[in-house]
Amino acid sequence: MDIVVTIPKHEYTNDDRETKDFLETEGSCQFWVFKSRKPAKLAVGDRVHFVKNGRVESSMKVIEIRENVVQVCNTTGRSWGGRCIVFMNDLQYHETIIESKGFQGFRYKWWGDNDDID
């Protein structure tokens, strides 16, 4: 089941850099860390949708889920660890505007497929 997460405002610059590197590096992927709990209904093949600038801006397809690991970001050099790390590719931007206030943690996708980019 697809989930939705919020990119914190203080991470916008890093997110832009990471996305640029992802788009310029063939075969690369990005990851998202869940520090305290793994989304139970999330599976490989689902999508993670990202809230940024007050709206659901983009999504990526889950290609792997690892639990209790540490991952280093190739762009920033920072190490990230937590309950699980979700690795993703297939970046798609939402054309339909789905407004959303930021939130912590994750939520399951709440809009219908007619509003989606898939």
Residue 116, pLDDT > 70, answer: no
Which residue carries 């889950």 as its tokens?
A: 62
Q: How far is CA 17 from CA 13, 48, 114, in A?
A: 6, 19, 31
Among 26, 7, 5, 18, which Cα is nearest to 75's? Answer: 18
Stated pTM of the model: 0.92
Q: Which domains can be identified in the chain, with CATH numbers?
A: 3-115 (2.30.130)
**Is the confidence at residue 114, as pLDDT, over 70?**
no
Mean pLDDT of 58-64: 98
- The 3-class secondary structure across 27-68, one letter per residue, is CCCEEEEECCCCCCCCCCCCEEEEEECCEEEEEEEEEEEEEC
Contact 56, 4 (CB under 8 A): yes
CA-based nearest residue to 95, from 116, 112, 114: 116
